Structure formats: structure tokens, C-alpha cells
Structure 1
Amino acid sequence: MNTTLLSYSSLPAERIGVHPPMELPSVIRLGTVHLAVASLARSLEFYQRVLGFALLSQSTAVEGQAAVAELGVAGTSQVLVRLSEQPGANPIPRRGRLGIYHLAVLLPSRADLGCFLKHVHSLGVYVGSSDHNYSEATYLTDPDGFTIEVYRDRPRSEWQVSEEGEIQSALDPLDEAGVLQAAGKTHWQGLPVGTTIGHLHFYIGSLAEAAAFYHTALGFDIETWSLSGALFVGAGGYHHHLGLNVWAAGSPVATEADARLLCWELWLPDADSRDAAAARLQAAGYAVDSTPEGPIATDPWGIRVLLGAETSSPQ
């Protein structure tokens, strides 16, 4: 059956995606991704030399507390990835644990992606790639088995949607020559200012249960639903802030013995929208713990999300 494709810009915002009864604000931000790794030194070598992260802070292990490194973009203070050392943590087998599949580092431009691609080629590091229609992406695997996507978005005016408002995804070959050409003669200098965590992708056990947590309760729109075994959810019409797939269904949930995602952060515009999201999750029967940093909710597979507020609500 042929699907009529439309320009993303041709549909009003309310027709893009499937909206829950109470949805997240259109402007959200993914904050720090907290990972447990087996060797901090080994991970830092990869995240700094290969991926181009800058080391923002580092602490050594003390009794009861792990050694920690915080990574971001040079010249900025925003922590994008926080690594906690857990000596002896098991590496992640391919599709072998429910939990994180990949974290995705969003570069500001195609030229930046081209610079990154030249850089990893010069290091002799294996990198996978794909054209997703709305983005151009590369994929690497870190020393613990985490997949890292490094990508750039096309302008929304170039995205496509179906008549039903589903954002169209693809798994086409990357135009590597075009991406490299976009870089010109510029050399990689590490992650450029403007780099963010663009999205996260999780291995989960059930699409229905995932939709109940992330769509109905938390409030993400379902943006893409026709991919085999996956849902892509986002806010503000973005192609996806989260990917949710059952491609590893039947595998065990990551445990404290494994390299794993400890927590991810979802930042909402203000305390009112944060508290409303926490209340929806709690009302739906999900565990929501109060912490000094903010409410932390846990999905059916132990994936924890810290809900943050960019600004305090007026008293």
C-alpha cells in the first residue's frame, strides 16, 4: 500500500503525531545521561579522544562513592554525560540487556558531522552510518558496549509526514561523500558549541507498556509508530526524543553487576510542568521518588528519569 507523503511544514502542529490527553510542553530538554562504566580511564580515553567530549570535572573514589567524571563541550558548563566507575561491571552484549540501546549526540550542522567523520576515519575507528530521512547519523560502540550515535538534523522543512501525521523515518545509506564534502578543509576540534543530547533509545519489553508510561502518563507524543517493533516519541513535533523498541525483548534487565544507564534527565520549562508530569506518573501507579535534585520516576524495566525544572514557579 502506497502512503502519500507530505511536507512536515504542510501540516499544523496539532496534526503531527499522536497526542496524549495531557502532553509535555513543546519546549523540553534532555539533560545529563548518567552511565556506570567498568573503567573510568578507559572510557575517558574514548569519550575525549574519539567522541570529542571535554572533561568538565573529575573526582576520585572515596568510601561509599564511585569515581566520577563529567563531560560536556569545551568552554561550557552543561554536563552532557556523567560517568561513574564501577570496577568489574559486565560489558553490554549486543541486544543482551533491557535498558539503554544508545545515546545520541546532536551536532549543530552537517559540516560538523563531516568534520567528525573525517576525524574518526583518521583514527581508524569503525563507524556505522545511516540516513534517517530527518537526520544523518553515525554510530560507534564505546568500551563498555554502549552505542553512541553522533548525528545532525535536517531542517524540519525537509522532513516528511504521512497524511495521518506520522513523521517518516528511513534506514537509507548515508551520503558519506556529501557529508565529508560539507566539512570542507575544516578540522575536528572536539564537540562544537551547540552540541546537545538529541535523543535516547531504549530496549524495552513491551510497546504497549512503554506507551502507557512514556506517552499516556509522562506525556510524550508518539511521532512514529509504523517501524517494526518500535515507537518513537517526542515533544514539540521533534522526530523523537526517545526511541523505544522490543528488539531485545526476552533479554534480562540490566542489573547492578552490569555497565548500564543509571538515570537520564528530562528538563521541563518550570516547576509546575515538572510537578504535573510527576503527578501523572504517580497517579498511573509508577514509582516516583522525591530527591533533592527532583522527582525520579522508574519505568517498568527499571529505567530511571529525573524530572527537572529550568525555572522555579512563582510563589
Structure 2
Amino acid sequence: MTETNTVRGTTVGRVALRVNDLDRTSSFYEQVVGLEPQSKGDQTAALGAGGVPLLELVEDADAPERTRDETGLFHTAFLVPSRRALADALVRLEDEWELTGASDHRVSEALYCRDPEGNGIELYRDRPREAWPIGDDGRVQMDTLPLDTNELRKEATETETVPSNTVVGHVHLEVSSIAAAREFYADALGMNVRQEYGPSALFLAADDYHHHVGCNVWNNRTKPADGRGLEWFELAVPNRETLETVRERFAAREISVTEIEDGIEITDSDEITVRLRAHD
């Protein structure tokens, strides 16, 4: 890490989705993903783990389906604390929904699915950091290898909810330009590039984590989203001093910063909304 990095200690906070059917979508995240319901209004719902909100749903019955050329969410990644918890998630997915993928990324083991409105989801557990492969350049070396779900399922206890210390580990975005995403998340925000695949994918973290934000152009999306899907995602920085430093960084680059109730809000090069708030 360089001395100019100001986001050490930053984590992913909440993710907000705009959905057509609030009841169906919130029930999915409760019953299949295993999040706990925290609050629900006429057009909003919050779910989380251990009393901490992780996901906010905003109902918009008229929001059009996301088109094939719109940028936005690739997946929200919920990080569970153990392989046993991942095995329990596998049971829920296979028994109550549809598993769309399972991968060994060398740093983690991951399961994939889509919610009722097509939003991508990853449920994963990290391997111990000392087991992560690190290259000579200091960057993490992730891969996508097959995961033996039959072996994983043997560890299941059929628990119906995620553990209380489950968090949103990372958010993976579909962007229109890796170069523009790098300029925003690395150069302006101050994240570290942890791995990149030429012009097609970029993985960034606030510290030496494998990634807090992923970006890819695999599906050739070219324009900002205008319908249902990702409403915003949140990064929680360590303190108000860091928040002010980030604010000044964006102002120096003439990137518009909007004040919100508990922090600031900015939009990246694809008009994806990022909220920042301080932990304290």
C-alpha cells in the first residue's frame, strides 16, 4: 500500500436494490439466503445479520427490467464465517431455489445464484489469509476452479439462517470501461488494485483483502442502468477524518459530492451510486 491510500479499514456496508415485488424478493432473501428481516414498510424492507443491516430493498412496481446493455450489479457477495455456514447455504439453495454456480477461487469458496428479479448473489467463505496465493508483485492470485458441492454438503447442519457475523464481503459491478473504473475506485477513491485481467476485469480492496469491489466488462454493457437492480452500495470508512479526506479527494478531481444524512454520496463513471459513511 502507498502512503496516499486513505481507505484502510474500509468495509462494504449496505447494498440497496430497486425491485418490482417487495414481498417476494424479501421472502427470498430471508428464506433462501438466510438473512434476518429487520424492518418492513409499504415500499421498503431491510434485512441483515446479527442486528446489522446488510440489504435494503426499495419497491418500484413500474421500474423496467434491466436491459442487456445496462451497467450495474454483477453480484452482491455475502461473506459467511465458516465452511459449515457455506454448506448450510448450499442446502437452502439446492433444496429451495436454484444454484447457478460453485467455484473455488483459491482465496475463497463460493456459491452463486440469482434472486427472483435476476440480481446476482454470491455466498462465500474465505480461506485463512496465510493460505492466499500472493504473486511477486504483492497482488493476490485468484482463480475460478470447480468446487465439489457434494463434499461441501456433508458439512451442513441445515441451519436456516446465516450466522450473526455474516457481512457483505464485496460488491461486483458490471461497468462499461475498466480504465474508467480504475480511475474512479483506485485513483480517486484510493483503493488498491489486488488483481486485474487486462482490460476485462479489475479487483480492488481498501487494504490487503482480496477485494471489496470487483468490476468487469464481460457482458459488454455500455450505458447506465435506468430500471430495477442496484440502487446504491455503501462503503464504511473508519472515521470522520477519513470521510473528509475522501470528500476532498473527489472535490479536487471535480467529482460531484452530495451530502446525505449519514455521510456522502457520489456516482462513478457509469452513474452507479456509491455512499460513504464513517464507522464512528
Do Structure 1 and Structure 2 share a fold, with TM-score over 0.5?
Answer: yes
* Aligned equivalents of 1:285, 1:175: Cα separation in 2: 48
CA positional deviation for 1:25: 3.5
| Aligned match for 1:35, one of 10, 17, 23 | 17
CA positional deviation for 1:246: 1.5
Q: Unpaired runs of 5+ in structure 1? A: 1-13, 61-66
Q: Secondary structure at the match of 2:5?
A: coil
* Aligned equivalents of 1:77, 1:227: Cα separation in 2: 40
Q: Kindly provide the CA deviation profile for residues 203-251 of structure 1, in whole angstroms up to 9, marking residues without a partner as x.
A: 1111111111100110100000236600100022000000011123343
Aligned pairs for 1:63-82 (under 5 A) are 67-73=43-49, 76-82=50-56
* Aligned equivalents of 1:124, 1:84: Cα separation in 2: 22
Could you tell me whether the CA contact under 8 Å between 2:39 and 2:45 is conserved in 1? yes
Could you tell me whether the CA contact under 8 Å between 1:278 and 1:297 is conserved in 2? no
Report the counterpart of residue 239 of structure 1 in structure 2.
210
Aligned pairs for 1:1-315 (under 5 A) are 14=1, 19=2, 22-60=4-42, 67-73=43-49, 76-93=50-67, 96-183=69-156, 186-226=157-197, 229-255=200-226, 258-311=227-280
CA positional deviation for 1:77: 2.3
Q: Kindly provide the CA deviation profile for residues 260-312 of structure 1, in whole angstroms up to 9, marking residues without a partner as x.
A: 2111111111100011012111211212111222111111111111110111x
Q: Secondary structure at the match of 2:242?
A: helix
Compare 204-213 and 227-236 and name the one that shifted more: 227-236
Query: Percent same amino acid at aligned positions?
Result: 34
Could you tell me whether the CA contact under 8 Å between 1:115 and 1:188 is conserved in 2? yes
Q: Unpaired runs of 5+ in structure 2? A: none
Amino acid in structure 2 at the alignment position of 1:182 = E
Q: Secondary structure at the match of 2:154?
A: helix
Greater CA radius of gyration, 1 or 2? 1
RMSD: 1.6
TM-score (norm 1): 0.85
* Aligned equivalents of 1:189, 1:103: Cα separation in 2: 20
Q: Secondary structure at the match of 1:23?
A: coil
* Aligned equivalents of 2:87, 2:198: Cα separation in 1: 28
Could you tell me whether the CA contact under 8 Å between 1:204 and 1:248 is conserved in 2? no
Q: Secondary structure at the match of 1:261?
A: strand
